[in-house]
Structure 1
Amino acid sequence: MKQRGRHRRRRQGRALRAALAGAGLSLTAAATLISTSQATVADDPGALKPLTSSARLDRLRLTEQPVPARSLARLAAAMGRPVDAGAVLDSADRTLRDADGCTAEEKESLPVEPAATRAYCWNAADAATRQWQPESVATSGDAADDGRWGTHRVILSGWSRHGGEAGSDLARVAFVDADDPDHLTYTWALLAVPVDGGRDYRGLASRVSGMVWYRDKLLVTTSGGERDALYVYDLRRIQRATVAGDAVGRVPGGWSAHGYRWVLPAVASYRPVEGSCARADTPSAQADSADDGGLAAPAGSPIAAAPCPTGLSLDRGSAPGSLVASETAPRGSGRHTRLWRYSFSTDPDRAGLLATDPAGTVTAREAYETKVDGVRGVLTRRTGASGPVWYLARAAGPDSGHGTLWRQDLRGAGATECGSSDDTRRCWGDGTGSLAYWAQTGEVWSLSGRTLFAVPLSSVERALR
């Protein structure tokens, strides 16, 4: 009986999503049977719990590890003078399809409530590949006060490759020219890490589930084989590959970037002061447990020790601006999810880097704990005396193609409701993508399935009320 009920809910969900996909983006509250009430008490995660003890905050400390300037200089001398993101955008050679060009299957994963007002799908070749998965998004709305990089409006999307033909993970970034909202074009750049004193580089062997663009720096999450919590890339220091081919790094005749024209060498990383970023939900976690010094949390414990973020966003409303982070507690694990923030440096010579003490240590400004598990995206805004409001994008469960967007603060939690299934809060996308707020347009950008979309923050707030 339980199995038949699960299949019935799946059929209902597919029917609902197909109807929504056929309607495109012109979805209304009346058409989707929306109710916007608080979740039931039994399922409500309640208010955020502040983590204020020095011991809990100390666990979130990071150590900054700059790539030596001489290594970057040696790499640039061998590869040629670096360029900035504008040069990459000028070489955009692929086109995103707008909502009318997306397939019904691609639109199935879009949010039900609030409905996306813009949606784009990658070109046919990139949409068809299953080795590469889109996971994160950032915009030039975070990079500068006017929301532009130079004269361009830009969207960046981080993609991860898991276990390619050579068995290695890789990460790449789509540079999207969003100047014309009716015609978005893009091209690829490979994320890399300098090695051998700048004489070579390797691919970043990690998921990029979180990404933030602040000033001229791009900060991305790392996991699995990478021990660092974050890597930092300089968008004014992008190198051109000179040899086509699947190899990564120095090759006979020049430099290769897995077939891509551009490569970003990391300029810094941040590593947990305590523990390692091999997570309990990654294949390498068990093998790496000996390196954690006993600090990694065993299964069923409330929270892990090392700060290993999977979701990132920028809070421009704080002073100074701050990097917001969340971790992923696997669904059903019984663990609580931590949310925290680090301040960015106010030193002009350290634009886009985190604030550190003289020893190079980064300390969390504040931290919270939530009972919501399966968090993939995080966003926060300060709304006055009630303190910050946090938006948490929760991944879809095994019986649904949609996730949940929770809104939590120190007073409680809420989520939109839709449909008529057993879990009516599954109104958001499928939960694979991060969240980025473009303040200049008032839009929240995210990824759902393999679809890039935007929804006005005002629509989110109306749905939650």
Structure 2
Amino acid sequence: MKHRGRHRRQKRGRALRGFLAGTALALTAAATMISASQATVATDPGALRPLASAAQTDRLALREHLEPQDTLDRLAASMGRPVGVGTVLAGADRTLRSTADCTSAEREALPVEPAATRAYCWDAADTRSWRAGAVTTSGDADDDGLWGQNRVILSAWSQDANQLARVAFIDANDMERLTYSWVLLTVPVDGGRDYRALDSQVSGMVWYQDKLLVTAADGLYVYDMNRVQRATVDSPAVGRVDGGWAAHGGQWVLPAVGSYRVTGTRPDYISLDRSTSPDSLVASDWVSTDDDRDVRLWRYDFSRAADSTGLLSTDGAGYARVNEAYQTKAPGVGAVLSYGSDWYLGRAADTDGDHGTLWRQDATGAEATGCGTDESRRCWSTDAESFSYWEATGELWSQSGRVLFALPLNAIDRSLS
């Protein structure tokens, strides 16, 4: 069983925050040299408005479907004993570039104000034809920020051409040198006799306890972080092939152990909120800037049952019901985070070369990060679609294009205008 160590958090957090202070100086200097244009902040969306009627919230319910144990056992019997996160990290064979090795074009994707305190860039050859998606960390998985003895970051990528989704398991024990391995997301078929690729862009992803929840076109898929399987054949195929099992040329496969199917509206973006009791899964839907619909924000409780670790709380009929829901006039927002009474919404740039907007909203109003002499310019990342708050260190993690970055959440709060 994973040891939950709150008593270690404060000491580790002080050390990390001391490191952040020095790192911020270099990244702040880099941010001041960014030459990309910054459009004015978008129209103020105002205060959050509650969704209280059953007619509004029932469409947000999710129906739980867990794979039969026989299906998972049959797949494991054919592929070999499953492994955990530590085994994947031990074989990490790729390295992220540090900030100093990022190109000027890559650094332009970073927030201008507040500046990132950590930033890493992906190898173009390793991510060519893949689209960056959601981020989650071992800070989501456990409140001490560790999974076993490891600090871990997960970064999702999707490839439309081959209808694939994969996750980089990043060893973050040495923040000066991040290494990673790719793990292909799959779904068992034919009762565990085969598997298919997860055909979906991963715009949202949350690692909570031993489960990984991933957005998909028909809801959320659930993965067990202790059930990673080895591929045995180097082939561009996915699934059972002559001689064994293939993962599009990769070494690792993560088969789904269940899903939450939509009954109406599907979550497009998700994150974890540890400030609620119980911990909750936060969700939002995508609304184009050309659409006059309101954006919906809502949450589901995680289960406290010992036999449902990492799963959502469901009623007797197997439905995960909405605990709380709001609407906001903030079209174009993607990344969503809730902490305390505040909701943070990231809006990407409208045009290439511009920076985006970061809103903080609550029941009384909204504020946006800004810069310039009149604080009226957009200064957020260009295209960050995911937020993950590492509570043990106070850092907000996100990803924009080929840049993975972090900054203290309290720095965002201080910069709000």
Both structures adopt the same fold (TM-score exceeding 0.5): yes
One of 393, 413, 416 as aligned partner of 1:461: 413
Instruction: Kindly indicate whether the alpha-carbon contact (under 8 Å) linking 2:215 and 2:269 is maintained by their aligned counterparts in 1.
Output: yes
The match for 1:187 is: 181
The match for 2:166 is: 172
Q: Residue type of the partner of 2:317? A: A
Measure, in 1, the Cα distance between the counterparts of 2:254 and 2:343.
31
Instruction: Kindly indicate whether the alpha-carbon contact (under 8 Å) linking 1:244 and 1:260 is maintained by their aligned counterparts in 2.
Output: yes
Q: Once superposed, what is the RMSD of the aligned Cα atoms?
A: 2.0
Instruction: Kindly indicate whether the alpha-carbon contact (under 8 Å) linking 1:32 and 1:419 is maintained by their aligned counterparts in 2.
Output: no
The match for 2:113 is: 113
The match for 1:55 is: 55
Do the aligned partners of residues 245 and 30 (structure 1) sit closer, same or farther apart at CA in structure 2, a change above 3 Å counting? closer
Measure, in 1, the Cα distance between the counterparts of 2:69 and 2:328.
40
Structure 2: tracts of 5 or more residues without a match: 1-24
Three-state SS of the structure 1 residue aligned to 2:191 is helix
Three-state SS of the structure 1 residue aligned to 2:27 is coil
Shift of the alpha carbon at 1:331?
Answer: 1.6
One of 156, 159, 168 as aligned partner of 1:158: 156
Do the aligned partners of residues 174 and 399 (structure 1) sit closer, same or farther apart at CA in structure 2, a change above 3 Å counting? closer
One of 397, 402, 405 as aligned partner of 1:445: 397
Measure, in 2, the Cα distance between the counterparts of 1:32 and 1:26.
10
The match for 2:73 is: 73
Q: Does 1:205 align with 2:191?
A: no
The match for 2:13 is: none
Q: Superposition pairs for residues 33-432 of structure 1, below 5 Å?
A: 43-127=43-127, 129=128, 131-164=129-162, 169-223=163-217, 228-273=218-263, 306-382=264-340, 388-398=341-351, 400-419=353-372, 424-432=376-384
Measure, in 1, the Cα distance between the counterparts of 2:204 and 2:74.
29
For 1:347-375, what per-residue CA distance to the aligned partner results, in whole angstroms no more than 9, with x for missing partners? 01100000001111110000000110112
Q: Residue type of the partner of 2:370? A: E
Three-state SS of the structure 2 residue aligned to 1:25 is helix
* Number of equivalent positions: 389
For 1:249-279, what per-residue CA distance to the aligned partner results, in whole angstroms no more than 9, with x for missing partners? 0000000000111000000101112xxxxxx
Shift of the alpha carbon at 1:55?
Answer: 1.1
Q: Residue type of the partner of 1:220? A: V
Measure, in 2, the Cα distance between the counterparts of 1:401 and 1:348.
47
Three-state SS of the structure 2 residue aligned to 1:453 is strand
Shift of the alpha carbon at 1:31?
Answer: 8.2
Shift of the alpha carbon at 1:437?
Answer: 0.3
| 317-326 vs 429-438, which moves further | 429-438
Measure, in 1, the Cα distance between the counterparts of 2:265 and 2:343.
18
Three-state SS of the structure 1 residue aligned to 2:379 is coil
Structure 1: tracts of 5 or more residues without a match: 1-22, 34-38, 274-305, 383-387
Instruction: Kindly indicate whether the alpha-carbon contact (under 8 Å) linking 2:32 and 2:112 is maintained by their aligned counterparts in 1.
Output: no
Do the aligned partners of residues 264 and 29 (structure 1) sit closer, same or farther apart at CA in structure 2, a change above 3 Å counting? closer
Do the aligned partners of residues 399 and 98 (structure 1) sit closer, same or farther apart at CA in structure 2, a change above 3 Å counting? closer
Measure, in 1, the Cα distance between the counterparts of 2:125 and 2:91.
18
Instruction: Kindly indicate whether the alpha-carbon contact (under 8 Å) linking 1:137 and 1:158 is maintained by their aligned counterparts in 2.
Output: yes
Instruction: Kindly indicate whether the alpha-carbon contact (under 8 Å) linking 1:320 and 1:344 is maintained by their aligned counterparts in 2.
Output: yes
Three-state SS of the structure 2 residue aligned to 1:242 is coil
Q: Residue type of the partner of 1:352? A: G
Instruction: Kindly indicate whether the alpha-carbon contact (under 8 Å) linking 1:436 and 1:444 is maintained by their aligned counterparts in 2.
Output: yes
Instruction: Kindly indicate whether the alpha-carbon contact (under 8 Å) linking 1:94 and 1:123 is maintained by their aligned counterparts in 2.
Output: no
TM-score normalised to the size of structure 2? 0.90
Q: Residue type of the partner of 2:252? A: W
Shift of the alpha carbon at 1:343?
Answer: 0.3
Q: Percent identity?
A: 58
| 24-33 vs 406-415, which moves further | 24-33
Shift of the alpha carbon at 1:307?
Answer: 2.3
Shift of the alpha carbon at 1:432?
Answer: 3.7
Shift of the alpha carbon at 1:395?
Answer: 1.5
Three-state SS of the structure 2 residue aligned to 1:335 is coil
Do the aligned partners of residues 27 and 409 (structure 1) sit closer, same or farther apart at CA in structure 2, a change above 3 Å counting? farther
The match for 2:8 is: none
Measure, in 2, the Cα distance between the counterparts of 1:392 and 1:163.
30
Instruction: Kindly indicate whether the alpha-carbon contact (under 8 Å) linking 1:193 and 1:265 is maintained by their aligned counterparts in 2.
Output: yes
TM-score normalised to the size of structure 1? 0.81
Instruction: Kindly indicate whether the alpha-carbon contact (under 8 Å) linking 2:357 and 2:380 is maintained by their aligned counterparts in 1.
Output: yes
